[in-house]
A = this chain, B = another copy of it.
Amino acid sequence: MTLFVDMDEVMADTYGAHIEIYNRDYQESLTHDICMGSEVWQKVPVERQNSVRQHATNVGFFRNLEPIADSKEVLKELSKKYELFIASAAMQFPNSLIEKSEWLDEHFPFVPWQNRILCGHKHILKGDILIDDRSYNLESFEGRSLLFTSPHNVNSNGFERVNNWQEVALKLL
């Protein structure tokens, strides 16, 4: 069985990093609760939105993300049971490519380079299961699609949902 797992907001806490950087840059106290149901950039004053949307182009942004809780432990177990691939739509940010490779080396060394995919569209993936936080990636996938909860997608319907890695473990291990 082939299992594809998205990186941002599934393995790596991109959302939390946006909030943290915004709060630091503007001395604000934005929280996850305030942002629930939206992208972070949508919850800041309009004149600051571009700045938040540019975070991902900052050197070091992807390299320094925190792993999502329990992702390391559960993915390590999943890698024993499934043919595990990491699939990230990273090509949008060319500077992120090396950072994502190094980040995986540090936090997920049990995923070899042969099982890492940096792509754009995900409808070219052939396999059995995809865990992703974006509906548009899941819609085009032919296998079982699991929507991983992120603050931005709490109001999305129509997909089998997993709220955290413990729930993934219960369903897939």
Q: Which residues of A come within 8 Å of B, CB atoms?
A: 2, 4, 85, 91-92, 94-95, 97-98, 101-102, 112-121, 123-127, 142
Contacts and interface: CB of A to CB of B under 8 A. Distances in A.
**The 3 residue pairs across chains A and B that have the minimum distance between CB atoms:** A114-B120, A126-B126, A97-B97
A1 B58 CA distance: 37
- For this chain, the copies found in one complex come to 2
Contact of A125 (B94, B118, B120, B126): B126
B91 A101 contact: yes
A91 B118 contact: yes
A38 B121 CA distance: 35
A94 B85 contact: no
A94 to B, nearest CB: 4
Given A91-B101, A98-B94, A101-B97, A112 B120 contact: yes
Contacts of A113: 91-92, 94, 120
Contacts of A91: 101, 113-114, 116-118
Contacts of A85: 121, 124
A44 to B, nearest CB: 26
A11 to B, nearest CB: 16
B101 A98 contact: no
Contacts of A94: 97-98, 101-102, 113
Contacts of A2: 124
Contact of A97 (B118, B120, B125): B118
A142 B126 contact: yes
